[in-house]
Structure 1
Amino acid sequence: MILRLIGGTPMRGAADTTWRGAIEDVDAYDLDDDAARARILAADGLVISGGVDHVLLGRHRDALTGFVRSGGRVLVNGQVVKPFIDGLAVWRKLEFRGPQDVRPHQVSPHPVWKGIDYRDLHYRTGVPGTHSYERLEEIGVAGFYGRGYHLDLPAEASVVTGIGQYALPLDYSYPLGDGEVLVHGGNDLESFSDDGYSTRVLGPNLVEWLEGGVRDAVELKPAGPVAAVAGTRPDTAATRPAAAATRPAAAAREAGQAAPRIGLLHGGTFPALRTLADPALAPYRLESVYLPDADPAALAGLDVVIVSDRLHQGQLARFVPAILAALQDPEKTVIVLGENKVEQWLPGIGYSFRPTVFWMWRTGEDNGTRLRLPEDSLWEFFTPWSASWHHHGLLHPRPGARSLVVMEEDGAESGSLLYVDEVNQPARLLVTTMDPVYHHGSGFMPGASQLLYSLLRWVTATHAPRT
């Protein structure tokens, strides 16, 4: 039995990456349940998706480490912010300037990569068909496989894949007790198994490797306390005393706080944690609202509520009443970012799925994005590139909302990609299907970082009590 710990609902339109049914998806928050945790730790092998809550995993570090020490095998995907298994190294962003800076190279053999031409890992494209490497150099996007590296590896670690001209450690493995940890520092490794390329063997190789562990029984222990995450500020909406956390926004300004209090609702994933720790965002004093632990009442004390993209729907549901209450406060701004199924909980909002076009800047393809209302004051803070890199479907807002970025299909507008609504509720509401926190925190797609910076500049410069 191979189990994959996931962070919630997969991205809409994403291909099934449970690899031909051999890997079963399990909600990572099941680790908090004794019976479910026992089942997880009884698996032959584990895959940890890149979208899992790292704070949660940190609570279960002893259990996950014990699984490996007893002979289990684990694939860790994504960018490790704080190690949650003994021996894990922290991921570091590579400052890359071109495709060759993120080209993967084999450093040492590993059975998971047996039979793979590493050139087939370099580029991805949504252009239909199977393409030569030379063609992919023209139409493909590099960096999906990896865009960072690891230092301070365990003493017995073997570097499997290097990145860039210096072959910096991207993928590595190391023994731990009787088991083995395999780390892939990029988008989920199993998603790269493509029938059109040599990577078709990646899925079977991975399953065979995960099933190859020989395990002893694991002693179950209670989950430990939440560890502080390096780089995040301790003064957060989740940890502030209740009296301050529920302080009305107007009272906060009267107490001498000129800048708006901005809270980022998040689920402890690596993009959110890296965004909160980004020194470039320090002037905005983003307050961490970690959904599993925070009190929804904390939102009452914020001037700006940012609902981070790609949240775990179960964790978000507990905060929906507080978000809707914030929309009734005329002194607040609420920003809701992409892939949060807003049509299920924001009043009167419709949604239409569209596939994500992430390769248009390589092919010159028109992805249909159009900017509207050039006279709107929002454009004083946003550049065209910050609002046109890609999206995750179309929104259909209520009448009166201002759609500033839209999708045009067959010469007609078919939906909104970013809109501002100041008429259908007392608060100011901005909603978009773009996902800037995910991409900024992942160190990928400069337009996404521009959008995040623009949102923060806009809301800081324009937020004020209404008379």
Structure 2
Amino acid sequence: MTPSLAFLNFGGGDGPPALTGGHPPRVTNLRLYDLETLPGDALQQWRAILVPCHVDQRFLQSRRPHLERYLLNGGTLVVNGHVAYPFLCWLQPFEAAPALGLEGLRVHRAAPHPIFAGVDAEHMTFRRGVAGFYARGANPVPHGALVLNTLGPERLPIDWLLELPGGGRLLVHSGNDLWMFAGGHDSAARILPQLLDWLEEERK
């Protein structure tokens, strides 16, 4: 059975093992530049597409009408990283957090969500004892989005979810790829499997 989730692969290989390396894999490998030749509404075959933080955003800008149609027709995009070239009408350029030391890098839960159920915010703040891996700033929130996690005393929105007419959803995380925590030894390891469960459950 073909996975209903796709990883938008900007590099070589078969994608991150945490996503595409299972037996059978839960996520299929979709080459970024194949988007240029995919016909019409071909993206709709995937319930959700996961976009990594180092993707070619300028190329995605050229596919903006197709990506927006995908969302408005009920698809889900999971966008990671700093937005430099807004490739959707709901995105704005990344805003770096002010330099406020450790407290400026501390993650706070803003709203409950199945993706982060049971995940200790301290385990998002620190990775191997070092703070700042999870996020260092925010992609501004569009009207109507639900903020899930914030950063620092200014509560910058680092994770947010926008639900669109027609059932589409845009989940935006302003830091390193959410799957970087896979296989860890603390509660942050729950993020990836819970993310995939949430994406697949919506297909039922």
TM-score normalised per structure 2: 0.87
Does the aligned pair in 1 maintain the 2:97–2:156 contact within 8 Å?
no
Residue 184 of structure 1 corresponds to 173
Name the CA shift for 1:89/1:114 in 2 (closer, same or farther; >3 Å): farther
Residue 194 of structure 2 corresponds to 205
Does the aligned pair in 1 maintain the 2:47–2:75 contact within 8 Å?
yes
Mapping 1:144-183, distance limit 5 Å: 144-151=133-140, 153-177=141-165, 178-183=167-172
Deviation at 1:145, TM superposition (A): 0.6
CA RMSD of aligned residues (A): 2.2
Distance 2:17 2:38 in 1: 28
Distance 1:91 1:16 in 2: 28
Residue 92 of structure 2 corresponds to 89
Is 1:3 aligned to 2:12, yes or no? no
Deviation at 1:170, TM superposition (A): 0.9
Distance 1:67 1:79 in 2: 22
SS state at 1:17 partner: helix
Distance 2:85 2:16 in 1: 29
Residue 18 of structure 1 corresponds to 19
Deviation at 1:174, TM superposition (A): 0.7
CA deviation profile, 1:40-61 (whole Å, cap 9, x unmatched): 4411111011111111111111
Task: Give the AA of the match of 2:187.
Answer: S
Residue 182 of structure 2 corresponds to 193
Deviation at 1:100, TM superposition (A): 2.1
Distance 1:208 1:15 in 2: 18
Name the CA shift for 1:100/1:184 in 2 (closer, same or farther; >3 Å): same
CA deviation profile, 1:403-448 (whole Å, cap 9, x unmatched): xxxxxxxxxxxxxxxxxxxxxxxxxxxxxxxxxxxxxxxxxxxxxx
Equivalent position to 2:65, from 39, 44, 62: 62
Deviation at 1:114, TM superposition (A): 1.4
Residue 376 of structure 1 corresponds to none
Distance 2:115 2:193 in 1: 8
Gaps of 5+ in 2: none
Deviation at 1:38, TM superposition (A): 5.2
Does the aligned pair in 1 maintain the 2:82–2:139 contact within 8 Å?
no
Distance 2:16 2:35 in 1: 25
Deviation at 1:113, TM superposition (A): 0.9
Does the aligned pair in 2 maintain the 1:82–1:90 contact within 8 Å?
yes
Is 1:28 aligned to 2:28, yes or no? no
Task: Give the AA of the match of 1:80.
Answer: V
Max radius of gyration: which structure? Answer: 1
Percent identity over paired residues: 30
CA deviation profile, 1:376-421 (whole Å, cap 9, x unmatched): xxxxxxxxxxxxxxxxxxxxxxxxxxxxxxxxxxxxxxxxxxxxxx
Deviation at 1:98, TM superposition (A): 2.0
4+ long deviations beyond 4 Å: none
Q: Report which structure shows greater RCO (CA 8 Å, sep ≥6).
A: 2
Task: Give the AA of the match of 2:151.
Answer: I
Mapping 1:82-121, distance limit 5 Å: 82-121=85-124
CA deviation profile, 1:55-100 (whole Å, cap 9, x unmatched): 1111111111111111111110001112212312321111324222
Task: Give the AA of the match of 1:103.
Answer: R
Does the aligned pair in 2 maintain the 1:161–1:172 contact within 8 Å?
yes
SS state at 1:211 partner: helix
Mapping 1:32-431, distance limit 5 Å: 32-35=36-39, 39-125=42-128, 140-151=129-140, 153-177=141-165, 178-213=167-202
CA deviation profile, 1:90-131 (whole Å, cap 9, x unmatched): 211113242221111100112211111111111223xxxxxx
Does the aligned pair in 2 maintain the 1:79–1:185 contact within 8 Å?
yes
Name the CA shift for 1:115/1:203 in 2 (closer, same or farther; >3 Å): same
TM-score normalised per structure 1: 0.40
Gaps of 5+ in 1: 126-139, 216-467
Does the aligned pair in 2 maintain the 1:72–1:214 contact within 8 Å?
no
SS state at 2:18 partner: coil
Distance 1:46 1:154 in 2: 20
Task: Give the AA of the match of 1:157.
Answer: A
